[in-house]
Every structure is written in structure tokens, then in C-alpha cells.
Amino acid sequence: MHLHWALMKGSNRPERAALEAALVALERDATLPPFEAGVDWDRVRGVLLEAAERLRDNYPYGHPLYVGQMLKPPHPAARLAYALAMTINPNNHALDGGRASSAMEKEAVASLASMFGWSESLGHLCGGGTMANFEALWVGRQERPGRGVAASMQAHYTHSRLSEVLGVPFVGIATDSRGRMDPAALETALASGAIGTVVATLGTTACGAVDPLPEILAVARARGVRVHADAAYGGYFTLARNLEAPARRAFDAAGECDSIVIDPHKHGLQPYGCGAVIFRDPSVGRHYRHDSPYTYFTGRDLHLGEISLECSRPGAAAVALWTTMRLLPPVPAGAFASGLEAGREAALALQREVGADARLVPLMAPELDIVVFTRRGARASQASEANRRIFDAAARHDLHLALASFPRPLVEPSGAVQSWDADSVTCLRACVMKPEHRDWMPEIVTRLKSALDDAA
């Protein structure tokens, strides 16, 4: 497997110079006596080279020809800020473990919250979207004791598992043919009174579907049911100006939800280990109250460990996010938002190309920047097999797609399959989430067509 590190190599020297300057600034006016931990640098160099050998076995995630899974390279500013903070290794559990990085986390989370019009909310960073959703569902259970969770059949698979962990029932709600929750089906499911929290997914992981949030809010509010927005992948698209009307309406209503989850490590240019959960009503902080004998909370300021299920957390993640947001503020029409819009344009271009090729069919129009399509097939199983062949052939052309299984109701309306010998089809999926994907689309399409010819 060959790696394509052109992206990083090009910026290698200025990158090191920037880190060097920041390290000098960080150590300025140090008053403690010099101290060096005993490190055998020859041995370190040796094992680091071993690690480099092992790391060669990877896909080229950072390259525009990688359109497979939801992987977007962190911004160099994020990587550098993370590395800078690692010379301290702060722990954002308590101010005692990371004073500066805790303050930076509060500012970064406030900035995320402001994207949804929230100024008085309560939130924090966490390991990722799963942990963030776990906290939102847990607070939901504390607020509506004994009642369960409803999410669409296309919601992230962890919602049902998290409900299991919380010991509450989970109900999957049917979707329309574009993978969006059906509000009428939700209304039926809520009639029993067993549900306390509805999860609206703003950008499903499989196809980027945006649930109709205004309708979901109306149905849920009528029954006193909480609404949680799982915007782990899609949340930042609230900044984009090129959404279709239904998706726009959904994002515009996000501020009315009780909680929102957004993953800076998905679309926010951050290294892994950076999700966020934010609650509209700061008083839910009372559910976190604990009285641990190890507690080292000093002073009266809010320690993030007082409002988080996780204990130790990387302060470096907060420093990386804070720095990235200073560089690229999350505002409409800004450079960061333009990057999201470019990915969406790339998705629309790919959908057009796929639609124009007689061999292929797009499953649905992309709502964000994920395109799902399939080879036409006489039978469902044949379409799946053909897609697997195209996936392999594309990889041989250095074009890395993903495979994803979609149920019959989401494939059938496309007319791609004539007879059904299986209840799902393994489809091709492209996450065109790098801004560069727009300019690379002609090259991507050329390689896709070569793969189609090879796999014929």
C-alpha cells in the first residue's frame, strides 16, 4: 500500500518552524531550575522507526482520492496545537489538572453552541459522538425517568446499544426513501407514552439524511417528550448556504432541541478524541453532582469534571479545537463554511455524473456531502456483487470508496434493481468531505469510470 503524503510533506518545514516558535513562547521566562527527564534518545529513535514501518499499512485518508469513510484530515493548526499542549499534557477533568486548557475548552464549546444560537448553554468536549450521545440520553433518562428512546432506522447504531446500557426501551422509527425520519410514524410510536427522548439525526452517517426537525419537535413537544439532535457528523452544515430547503429548515430549528451533539473530529478538522455535547438548559448540570473522595476540585469556578460523565480528558483536544476556531471561526460565509459548501458541491457533481452513467443509479439526492449509488442489477444480490467488484477495482485505481448496506425501501425507489432476492443491497458510498474534492471531482469520476470498465 503506497501512501500519498504530498499534503503533509509540502507543509513540513513551515510546520516544524511554527511549532518551534510556539514552544519557545510557551517556555518564556521559566523560573524553575532546569530539569530533564532521563530519555534514551537512540532507543526512542529506533522504536519510532519501527512504528513508522507499522504505520505504512494504511489507506491514504488525507488524499482527495480517498472518498471512503467519514475521515477528514485534521487541520495542521490543530495538529500543531495538540503537539504544543502535549508538552504539558493537561487533564481537563479539573482546573487543577489543566487551568488554561479548561478555559479554552469553555470558550471553544461556547463557540460551538453559538452556531445554534445558544448563549447560556452547558456543554463540554468528550471522547467522541458516542460518549456525547450517551450523556445526552442519560440526561434524557434522568429528566424522564423510566421512559425510553426513539430514533430513526437510519440513526447511528449506537443509540439502540446506549439505550440498552441505560436500561431503557429503544424504538426504531421508519424513514422516507431518502432516509429521513417519518414524523407520522414517530407520532404513532409516541402514543404509548413509553418514550421520553426522541433523537433527530441531522446528517445520518450512512447517507447524510437530515431528519425533519420542525415536524419532530412539534410531535414531541405535544407529548412532553425531549428532543436530542445527533449532529455528530452533520452539525457544522448549519453554516452552509447551499443546503436544500428541508435541510435548511431542520438546521434552523436545531436551537430548539434540548441537547445537541457535534463531533469536531468528524467535520471540525480535529484529531480523534473530540466530540461535544451541549445542553440548552444549564440546570441539567445538577444530574452530574457527585461527591467523590478523590475530588480535587479547588476554588469556586466550574470544573469541567463536575459536568461530565468521563473523568480524565485530554486538555490537548480543547487546545487544538480552540486554536482551529481562532484560525477558522465557525461562521456562515467564512473560510471554514466555504469548505463545507465545496464538499457539498462536490457531492452534487458526483451525483450528476453517477446519474448520467447508464450503468449506475444514485439512491437519493445527497442532502449534505455523502453520495450513495449502486450498479444496476437484475437481482438485488447481483447489484451487491457488482458494487463489491467496483469497490475493489476502484481501489486498484487508487480511488478509495466505501461499501454500505441499505434496506430495500431505500433502494427500491431508485429503480436500480428489478427483482428482490435479498432485503438489502450493498451499495457504493462516497464521503466527499474535503474541500479539495470539488476540484478533484473530474479525476475521481475518470477513475470511477475506469473501475466500472474493469468490473464489467
Ligand X SMILES: *Cc1c(COP(=O)(O)O)cnc(C)c1O
User: What is the closest distance, in whole angstroms, from the C-beta atom of residue 83 to ligand X in the complex?
Assistant: 22
User: What is the closest distance, in whole angstroms, from the C-beta atom of residue 319 to ligand X in the complex?
Assistant: 19
User: What is the closest distance, in whole angstroms, from the C-beta atom of residue 229 to ligand X in the complex?
Assistant: 10
Minimum CB distance to ligand X smaller for 135 or for 263: 263
User: What is the closest distance, in whole angstroms, from the C-beta atom of residue 273 to ligand X in the complex?
Assistant: 9
Q: Contact residues for ligand X (CB under 6 A)?
A: 128-130, 133, 156, 158, 201, 205, 230, 232-233, 263, 266, 275
Contact 173, 151 (CB under 8 A): yes
Minimum CB distance to ligand X smaller for 84 or for 131: 131
Minimum CB distance to ligand X smaller for 199 or for 219: 199
User: What is the closest distance, in whole angstroms, from the C-beta atom of residue 71 to ligand X in the complex?
Assistant: 11
Minimum CB distance to ligand X smaller for 136 or for 337: 136
User: What is the closest distance, in whole angstroms, from the C-beta atom of residue 361 to ligand X in the complex?
Assistant: 24
Minimum CB distance to ligand X smaller for 262 or for 451: 262
What pairing do the DSSP bridges indicate for beta strands 275-279 and 360-362?
unpaired
Lookup: cell for 194: 413509553
Contact 301, 207 (CB under 8 A): no
C-alpha 405: how far from chain center = 19
Minimum CB distance to ligand X smaller for 253 or for 451: 253
Contact 202, 400 (CB under 8 A): no
User: What is the closest distance, in whole angstroms, from the C-beta atom of residue 124 to ligand X in the complex?
Assistant: 15
Q: Which residue is nearest to ligand X (CB)?
A: 129
What whole-number distance in Å separates Cα of residue 100 and Cα of residue 452? 53
Lookup: cell for 2: 503506497
User: What is the closest distance, in whole angstroms, from the C-beta atom of residue 231 to ligand X in the complex?
Assistant: 7
Burial of 220 per CB tally in 10 Å (0-12, 13-18, 19+): buried
Dihedral in degrees, nearest 10, Cα atoms 309, 312, 315, 318? -20
Through-space distance between the first and last CA atoms of the chain, rounded to whole angstroms: 25
Minimum CB distance to ligand X smaller for 401 or for 452: 401
Lookup: cell for 430: 462516497
User: What is the closest distance, in whole angstroms, from the C-beta atom of residue 179 to ligand X in the complex?
Assistant: 12
- Integer CA distances (angstroms), 205 to 153, 177, 423, in order: 12, 16, 20
User: What is the closest distance, in whole angstroms, from the C-beta atom of residue 381 to ligand X in the complex?
Assistant: 28
